[in-house]
Amino acid sequence: MKFKHVVLIIFVITILYLSWCSSKSVFITNNVRQKRTNFLLLGVDFVDRAVHSDTTIFVSYSPKYQVVDVISIPRDTYIDVEFTKFKKLTEIYAYFYAKTKSKKLAAEELKKIVEEKLFCSSTTTKIEIPYYFVIDYQNFKKFIDTIGKIKIVVNEPMHYDDNAGNLHIHFEPGVYYMNGEEVLKYVRYRGQDTDINRIKRQQEFIKSLVSKIFNPLFFYKLPLIIYNFDKCFITNLSFWEILNLMLEVRNLRLTDIRFSTLLGRTTGRYLEVDREQLDNLIKYLSNNNSKIEQKKEYVVLKIYNATNYPKIAKQVAMFLRQKGYDVISWSNWPTAQYKSIIIDYSQNLELVNSLCSLLNISDVTSVFEQNSTGLQQNILIILGQDFIEKNKDNTQLQYFQLYSE
């Protein structure tokens, strides 16, 4: 048999094998059908001789609209399960790990619990989570060191000492370029804060990480990251699916990644999730046939100035009004802040993307609340100090004399 015939046979077999793998893959099949694929990301610790899910993040990718929703689930979330006295989300993972002695099997079981007990609405709509990622502290540090130092803005003093646990965290406000160990301290820090503030820091880290990965200069590190990915993460994604995932998200922008947090009320040692908010989230995630269509005149904007420059909120409001947006108010934000952010209650992806492009704002937080005030149709635009820095060359905004003294 000639060499070229052997090569041809191997090529055909490879194509058939990859086609078979693709047909068996939920992720690839969903992409072909333009359906969402959901993931559960778990950061696990080892405390008091037990492995807990210290961080739990639900991630949903929509190939139809090229949007990634990143939704943090507080570790103290109450989950009503019958098989154990432990009801905290973090403790349930610890229960399964103690039972199976496997991070992978514990993740499989916790994924099922989150599907059945949390992401299942009162209207019987169920959100399926086919995939999971698990990473522990040591591998987290290794993975960040593989990527390189991450830019983190610390907004307030962070000081904590735990001699028994050999954990010492000391950061003053400022801009840091953190290695793996420093980033781990930043995302673990709780201090006197609530878990919600810790979640906000974790989301800030994810934004900085994504911003670094999306930088074209970062491309040369991709082979090394792919090589180390399997060493650092435990996942039920196949290597073929991981490659497809990376190809699928390669053209995403930072504005295509929306962040949110499941909120609720604290009852004793638990956090009881707001069921109405969760039902709205499930409805949004289930809406695959069409976007939540809202013409821009039905969504109202509120502009806030969080910079040291007076009148910017009003000037941007006038600018947006001339562009046809319905701006109903503008005022000062209670505190100054560096980063600009859009807080979206509308889930109108097209409208929010247009505002991000127009104002050069990349940070978007989604809120899935609904109440009698109609707040779900609001979009809040908070102008931080970086708005001034990013838009110095924006001639449209300069027309409104944003930078005049």
H or E stretch covering 305 = strand 300-305
Q: Is the pLDDT of residue 85 over 80?
A: yes
Check: CB of residue 83 under 8 Å from CB of residue 97.
no
Q: Is the pLDDT of residue 141 over 90?
A: yes
Residue 83 CA to residue 156 CA, distance in Å, equals: 42
Q: Is the pLDDT of residue 334 over 60?
A: yes
Structure confidence at residue 375 (pLDDT): 43
3-state SS assignment for residue 156: coil
Structure confidence at residue 193 (pLDDT): 66
Check: CB of residue 38 under 8 Å from CB of residue 127.
yes
Proportion of the chain above pLDDT 70, given as a percent: 83
β-bridge partners, 12? none
Neighbours of 153 (CB within 10 A): 14
Structure confidence at residue 366 (pLDDT): 87
Quote the DSSP letter at residue 126.
B
Q: Is the pLDDT of residue 146 over 60?
A: yes
What is the overall mean pLDDT for the chain? Answer: 82
Q: Which of 81-90, 276-285, 367-376 has the lowest mean pLDDT?
A: 367-376
Residues for the chain: how many in total?
405
Check: CB of residue 75 under 8 Å from CB of residue 53.
yes
Q: How confident is the model at residue 294 (pLDDT cuts 50, 70, 90)?
A: very low
242-252 pLDDT tens trace: 888 888 887 78
Check: CB of residue 303 under 8 Å from CB of residue 342.
no
How far the first Cα of the chain sits from its last, in Å, is: 81
Structure confidence at residue 4 (pLDDT): 59
Closest Cα partner for 315 from 303, 307, 301?
303
Q: Is the pLDDT of residue 48 over 80?
A: no
Check: CB of residue 109 under 8 Å from CB of residue 115.
no
Structure confidence at residue 266 (pLDDT): 86
Q: How confident is the model at residue 162 (pLDDT cuts 50, 70, 90)?
A: confident
Q: Is the dihedral of CA 273, 274, 279, 280 positive or negative?
A: negative
3-state SS assignment for residue 391: coil
3-state SS assignment for residue 30: helix
Angle CA 386–391–396, to nearest 5: 150
H or E stretch covering 327 = strand 326-332
Q: What is the mean pLDDT of residues 37-65?
A: 87
Q: Give the pairing type, strands 364-366 and 341-344.
A: parallel
Q: What is the mean pLDDT of residues 353-369?
A: 87
Q: How confident is the model at residue 1 (pLDDT cuts 50, 70, 90)?
A: low
Q: What is the mean pLDDT of residues 336-345?
A: 90
258-288 pLDDT tens trace: 999 998 888 888 889 888 888 888 888 887 5
Check: CB of residue 180 under 8 Å from CB of residue 144.
yes
Which residues make Cβ contacts (< 8 Å) with residue 92, sequence separation at least 6?
Answer: 53, 79, 81, 84, 86, 110, 113
Which residues make Cβ contacts (< 8 Å) with residue 377, sequence separation at least 6?
Answer: 294, 298, 299, 300, 345, 346
Closest Cα partner for 135 from 127, 126, 146?
146
Chain-centre distance for alpha carbon 398: 33
Residues 112/115/118/123 CA torsion (nearest 10 deg): -140
What ranges in 35-188 are assigned the alpha helix state H?
Answer: 89-100, 103-113, 137-147, 180-188
3-state SS assignment for residue 306: coil
Residue 272 CA to residue 322 CA, distance in Å, equals: 44
192-234 pLDDT tens trace: 667 888 898 999 999 999 888 887 777 777 778 878 888 899 9
Could you tell me the two tokens for 194?
């609530």
Check: CB of residue 108 under 8 Å from CB of residue 236.
yes
Which residues make Cβ contacts (< 8 Å) with residue 54, sequence separation at least 6?
Answer: 43, 44, 45, 75, 90, 188
Residue 339 CA to residue 365 CA, distance in Å, equals: 13
In the chain, the largest separation of any two C-alpha atoms, in whole Å, equals 81
Chain-centre distance for alpha carbon 327: 28
Check: CB of residue 200 under 8 Å from CB of residue 343.
no
Q: Is the pLDDT of residue 289 over 50?
A: no
Structure confidence at residue 165 (pLDDT): 65
CATH assignment of 36-286, among 3.40.50.150, 3.40.630.190, 3.30.200.20, 3.30.930.10: 3.40.630.190
94-123 pLDDT tens trace: 999 989 989 999 999 999 999 988 887 665
Structure confidence at residue 403 (pLDDT): 44
Q: Is the pLDDT of residue 83 over 70?
A: yes
Could you tell me the two tokens for 363?
């940070």
Q: Which fold has domain 296-398?
A: Alpha-Beta Plaits (3.30.70)
Structure confidence at residue 215 (pLDDT): 78
Q: Is the pLDDT of residue 14 over 70?
A: no
